[in-house]
Amino acid sequence: MIKPKSSTFLPQLEELSRVISERIGLDFPERKWDVLQRVVENLAGEDGCPDSELFLKELLDSSLSDIRLNQLIVRLTIGETYFLRDKGVFTVLRDQILPSLIDKRLSEKQIDIWCAASSSGEEPYSIAMLLDEKSDQLRGWQLNIQASDLNLDVLEIARKGVYSNWSLRATPEDKKAKYFTEIGENRFSLAPQLRQMVTFSQLNLADSEFVMPGLGGRLADMIFCRNVLIYFSAQLQAQVIKRLVSWLKPGGWLLVAPSELGVVQDPDLVPVRFPGVMVHQKCDARDLGGGRQLLSSGALAPAGASGHNEVYRLQARKMVTRRPVLKPACRLEVARIADGLVQGKGVIAHLDLLTVLNRVHESLAAQSYREIVDLVSSEIEIFAKLEPEYPEIMACKAQALANLGVIDDAVDAIEMALEVDKVNPLYYYLAATIRRELADYDAALKLYRQALFLEPDFVMAHFSLATLLKQLQRKGVKRHLRNVVTLLENFSESTVLPQGEGLTGGRLLEIARNLMVNC
* C-alpha pair distances (Å), 289 with each of 100, 292, 308: 16, 7, 18
Categorize the per-residue pLDDT at 25 as very low, low, confident or very high, splitting at 50, 70 and 90.
low
What per-residue confidence (pLDDT) applies to 306?
30
Question: For residues 73 and 59, what is the distance between their CA atoms, to the nearest angstrom?
Answer: 15
What sign has the CA pseudo-torsion 402, 407, 410, 414?
positive
Strands (E) in 185-258, as ranges, are 187-190, 198-202, 220-224, 248-255
What per-residue confidence (pLDDT) applies to 293?
27
> What digits encode the pLDDT tens for the residues 450-475?
999 888 889 999 999 999 998 888 98
Chain Cα centroid distance, residue 442: 24
Q: Which of 41-50, 113-122, 309-318, 337-346 has the lowest mean pLDDT?
A: 309-318
What per-residue confidence (pLDDT) applies to 217?
79
Other C-beta atoms closer than 10 Å to the C-beta of 189 total 16
CA-based angle 162:164:165, to the nearest 5? 140
Name 289's Cβ contacts closer than 8 Å, sequence gap at least 6: none
Name 517's Cβ contacts closer than 8 Å, sequence gap at least 6: none
> What digits encode the pLDDT tens for the residues 118-166?
999 999 999 999 999 999 999 999 999 999 998 888 899 999 999 998 8
Q: Are 102 and 132 in contact (CB under 8 A)?
A: no
Class of domain 334-517: mainly alpha
Q: 270 in helix, strand or coil?
A: strand
Categorize the per-residue pLDDT at 394 as very low, low, confident or very high, splitting at 50, 70 and 90.
very high
| Alpha-helical runs (H) found in 180-279 | 192-195, 234-246
What per-residue confidence (pLDDT) applies to 234?
82
pLDDT at residue 66 tops 90 = no
What per-residue confidence (pLDDT) applies to 492?
77
Residue ranges covered by each domain of the chain: 10-76, 87-282, 334-517
State percent of the chain over pLDDT 70.
Answer: 78
CATH number at 87-282: 3.40.50.150
State percent of the chain over pLDDT 90.
Answer: 37
Name residue 189's beta-bridge partners. 162, 181
What per-residue confidence (pLDDT) applies to 77?
61
Q: Which of 58-67, 237-246, 369-378 has the lowest mean pLDDT?
A: 58-67
Which amino acid does the sequence have at 460?
A: M
What sign has the CA pseudo-torsion 450, 452, 454, 459?
positive
What per-residue confidence (pLDDT) applies to 305?
31
> What digits encode the pLDDT tens for the residues 174-210?
999 999 999 988 899 999 999 999 999 999 898 888 8
Name 394's Cβ contacts closer than 8 Å, sequence gap at least 6: 376, 381, 413, 414, 416, 417, 420
pLDDT at residue 309 tops 60 = no
The model carries a pTM of 0.53
> What digits encode the pLDDT tens for the residues 254-308?
999 876 877 888 889 988 888 778 899 998 755 443 333 222 333 333 323 333 2
Categorize the per-residue pLDDT at 27 as very low, low, confident or very high, splitting at 50, 70 and 90.
low
What per-residue confidence (pLDDT) applies to 464?
92
Mean pLDDT of 395-424: 89
pLDDT at residue 351 tops 70 = no
pLDDT at residue 5 tops 50 = no
Question: What is the average pLDDT score of the chain?
Answer: 78
Strands (E) in 31-177, as ranges, are 110-115, 142-149, 162-163
Q: Are 220 and 212 in contact (CB under 8 A)?
A: yes
What per-residue confidence (pLDDT) applies to 203?
92
Question: For residues 266 and 248, what is the distance between their CA atoms, to the nearest angstrom?
Answer: 12
> What digits encode the pLDDT tens for the residues 77-110?
655 688 998 888 899 999 999 999 999 999 999 9
Phi, psi of 12 (to 5 degrees): -70, -40
